[in-house]
Each structure stands twice: as structure tokens, then as C-alpha cells.
Amino acid sequence: MGESGQAVKAQVHPNGEEGARSTSPAAWIFRSIAVLTSRWRPSSELSFWISFFVLHILLFLPVVLMDREGGALLPTFQFSGLSPDQIWMQIAVWRREPDLLRFNSEIVLFVALWAVVRPLRHVAVRIAFVVAYLLVFFYYLYEGASLTFFSVEPVFYSQLRMATEGFSFFLQNARVTTVFVAGVVLLIAGGAALVARLARFVLPEQRPGPKTRAILVSAALLIGVQSVLHTDLLARPEMVFSSIAAKLHRNIGESRRVYLDVQRIETLDPTPVEEYSQFDLIERPPVYIIFAESYGSVLYKRNDWRALYRDLTERLEADLTGAGWHAASALSLAPTWGGGSWMSYTSALFGMRVSSDPQYYALLDKYEDGGYPDLGQFLKDQGYQYYRLTALSMGLPESQWEKYATFYGVDRWLQYEDLNFSGPEFGWGPAPPDQYSLNFARETVRGETEGPFLFFTITQNSHYPWAPLPELVETWQELNRPGPPPPPSSELIEHSERRQNYWNAIEYQLEMLSDFILSEPNEQAIFVLVGDHQPPRVSRGEDGWDTPMHIIAKDAEFVASFKEYGFTSGLAVWDPEPTFRHEGFLSMFVRQLLAAYGNGAELPSYLPEGVPIGEKGHQPVLTPH
């Protein structure tokens, strides 16, 4: 969690105040269903089936509402050119995109048993069903949020600390109103009452008619067959009939795997990177490592963004080239998706894949007194001063700052209070305009040291929800003027507007960073610009986990040397596949620094997958055959 505010920024969603308004889609749906069900008769077969489907719709509604990129109310079937087996697979087994025509296996089985086994038809069993349903609903909600915002299936062990610390941080820094809390409580109570009412119709005192029983028994048999044929896929959200038992089993198994990785960190021996202390730099250019928030390769995956991105990079590249700067770019596989920036930049700086919160905190606890041989330590051994910038106005206790500073080995950590900023703040945090923060920090660094330095930061203004944005000005000092705060962002916008907001934020970010490089007074400076993860809400898991990385310097030979790792000249990358991983950056960058500016000694090894600490954390998407 290198930058304390940053470390929790993806743990808590910044739009809580909008979530419980009585005009929200969820509240409207609950009210509408309640009005309709109040007129149903418990003996009606139609009431049974409407209630049966509504109970399942409610399970899958959250992920459909959250996943505006791929989610749809009803599935879209493509039967042309498919075999009968493929058609059946699409209808009743597996569909990649979220939709509402899906079922929970345990609910279907229980309702079928209720219909045919008379002793089960008891009010106490119905109450137990309602309680169990609510627990299942919250798990599906949890799964939907995890898939939508982080593109990973839920793992209790990984997300417990993120949830608890993130919620605490949210309460401390977000403006949570009494109306918001009351709305959440009423929404939960109303949902529970609705489920209890629907359960009366799905589990009636009198058994359903023979046709209904036959359909339920057939569905139960179908679930039994799928449990045999697709055992390993029952936990997957793409299954038409998914199983909560299989989901819990998979979750517990993944939790155990992460737990074992954490235990391995306790005995971690980062010997491969410790060897860097044997090498010396003869020349010591200043190094800027700047992570661009939510700068993902999704920009290459959509036709509209791809065209806009191509035009933008060509224009910025022309400006850089005209001023004597050279650029090489590639796609790098990030260890996290949609959030968790601290894991992404720690993986790059430490040369090890850190893909879960427990791994990160285990590393933090092990090296809380410093000493890990990361990029900062290597450059400090070469006489560099290590500076960091965190511009978020929200913060943590000073003891926490000190812990993180020691962990990363930072000499000087510039915080919001050091920026002397009095103008309007934007976005998550909130924070000053990045143009002001970066330029002020550079002026501070250059005023404090005449020697070489490493400067690290992660930008703020391209953080979700990407609006409102500051303007890009000619003189960054003019941003430091008092003014009214920008209007708050809203979740209640069209998805097309959200996509446009994301593009606007990325355009601002890249133009700002290009301007920052063009105004760099040191001819020997090296810039590394890299995305931390794909943006949430406007990208999908199949867009991949890779992010752009750019090496920019006036030393053309140094920049060109990265081509052996798959980099290509310029700011744009048109190879659709990532050529390396974030955790391989440390060894790659140190090698190229030593090759260009070292004493000619034999270069250290390149570790494309970093220092190993356990099994691979990436969870690939499985598809049935």
C-alpha cells in the first residue's frame, strides 16, 4: 500500500452516497415487484412461476446492472452455423456475458424437493429457506462486485482485509449521511420482506400441479447431469445453472492457496535482486517512474477508442520527437485488474508478483523496517535520493506514513500538506490537478538536491469515476487559485457517458504527462510511464490484464535497447499480446541502466516472472469443451 491513500483507493467504491437513493433502479424494481406480488393469489400456478423466476432474477440482477460492458437483461443467442450440442451448450450450460435467465442449482433442487416431498412443507423450513436465500444473494452480490471491479472470482482470504480496512477508511473519509445509512437499512429490510413474500408462492402449503412438478423434476435431473459432466465449472459465473456449494468450495480452495503463498513470503529469500548491489553506475541520470491510474490496454480493444488513441499518441509522439525525446512502448501483464494499484506498482518496483492483499501485507510486515532490494534501494546504493508523491487530500496517521516510507525506503515523501495547494480539488481523494502536483513536486525535488534522484508517483485525475476533470493550462502555477469545488460525479449516468468520461480522463492524463516531459530541464532524464490496471466499469475480463508501458528519454540508444523485450518504437503498441510482466520490470530496467550507464561488468539476469513466491496468482477464464 505504498501510498497510504492509494493503497485503499480501490478497496472502497467512491460512489456510496448515490447508491441508496429511493430513485435508484434497485429500489424501483423492489417496489414494483412488491406491488405486483401483493395482488397474487398463493394458489396460482402463474404466481409460483413468476415468483420462482423473480427469485433467480434478483440473484443475477446486481451483476447485470454493474457490468454495463457485457451485461444484458436477456441473453442473445447465436445459433447460425452451430451444431445441436453447441446450441444446447449456449441455452442451458454456459454463456459468457451476464444475463438474468440463469438459475441457482440449490434453489431449483430445494423447490423441487418441496414440491414432491410432503414433510418438507412446513413454515419453519420456509423460514430457513428465506434466511439461506438472503445469504446466497449477498454472496452473488459479492461475486458480481468482485468480477465487475476486479475481474476475479471472490477469494475470502484475499478480500477480507481489503473489505475491513477499506470500509473503515471509507467511514473516516467519505461523507456518509444519515439519509444514506437509513436508505441502505430500508433497502435491505425491504428486500428481505420481498423475499419472504415470494417464498410463500414458491413454497406453497399445497403442492403444485403435476406439470409444475414434472418441470421441476426435469430441471433437477438436468442439474444432476451437469454436475457429472461439468463438475469443474459449476462454480463459474458463466454457468446457466451455477452452484453456491461449488462456489464456496472454490473460494475456500483459492483462499488456502493464497494463504500458502503468504506463508512462503515469511521465508522469502530475494537473492536474485540482492545481487544488484555488486554493480555500479558510472552515469546517473534522474529517473521518473509514473504510474498512470486506470491506463489500460482496453484502449486498443475497442474500435472507437483505438482510433482516438492512435490519433492522440501520434500527435503527442510528434511533439516529443520534435523536442528530441525518443519513446519505446509495450504491453505489460499487470498483477491486478480494475483496482489495487499498490499491488501493481509494488510488483514492478520489487520485481515480484504481488497479486493479492494478503501477499502485499505479508511483504509489508516482513520488511516494515526496510531492506528489501527493490529498485529504490538499488538506486539509493548508487547515490540517488528517493522521492515519492501522494497528492490525495485524505490521509492516514503519521505512523502509517512512516511505516510505508520505511518499507519502500523513501528518503522524502511529499504529501498533500507539502503542496501548498489552495485551488479546487478533483476526483477520488479528492486531489489537486495532476499537472500542479507533478510540477510542484519536481520543483521541490530539484530545489532540494543537485544529485541524481528517483521520483515515483501515481496519477490521480484518471481515477474512477473520471469526472469532473481539471483543465490543462499553460502555466501550472495558475491552478493554485481558490475557486468553487467542481460538481460531484454521479453514478446515475448513461454508460456511453461513462465511457466518454474515461476517454476524457486518459486524454487529459497523457497530454499532461507529455507536457510534463517536454518541460523537463535535465537532458539526461529517463521517464517510465506505465498503467496500473484496466479501468473498472468500462472494460471486461476478456480485454486482458495488460497495460501500456512507455520508456521515454533523449538517449536514443538507451530507449532502443528495450526492443529485445518486445518494445516497439513510439508511443503506440499494436501487438495485441503483452510481451512481459510488471514483475519483470525491475530486472529488465536495472539491466538496461547498467548496459547503458554501467562500468561494463557482466549484466545481471533478466527475471521475466520476477522472484518466485508461490503459485501463479492469475486466474484464467475457463471455457467448457
pLDDT for 175 equals 55
Helix (H, G, I), strand (E, B) or coil at 566: coil
pLDDT for 269 equals 77
Find all residues with CB under 8 Å of 482, minimum gap 6, and list them: 422, 423
* CA 333 to chain centroid: 13
Phi and psi at 91, nearest 5°, equal -80, -45
Q: What is the average per-residue pLDDT within 321-339? A: 96
Question: pLDDT grade, residue 22 (50/70/90)?
Answer: very low
Whether residue 39 has pLDDT greater than 70: no
Nearest to 527 by CA among 330, 319, 287: 287
Q: What is the average per-residue pLDDT within 366-383? A: 93
What is the percent of the chain where pLDDT is above 90?
64
Q: What is the average per-residue pLDDT within 327-337? A: 96
What is the number of other CB atoms lying within 10 angstroms of the CB of residue 430?
20
Q: 199: which 3 cell numbers?
A: 417464498
* CA 235 to chain centroid: 21
Most confident of 135-139, 262-266, 609-613: 135-139
CA atoms within 13 A on the CB side of 543: 26
| pLDDT tens per residue, range 119-141 | 888 999 999 999 999 999 999 99
Question: pLDDT grade, residue 30 (50/70/90)?
Answer: low
- Can you give the pTM of this predicted structure? 0.82
| pLDDT tens per residue, range 167-187 | 555 555 455 567 767 877 888
Find all residues with CB under 8 Å of 188, minimum gap 6, and list them: none
Question: pLDDT grade, residue 143 (50/70/90)?
Answer: very high
Distance, CA of 159 to CA of 358 (rounded, Å):
8
Whether residue 3 has pLDDT greater than 90: no
**Domains delineated in the chain:** 19-257 (no CATH), 268-597 (3.40.720.10)
pLDDT for 473 equals 96
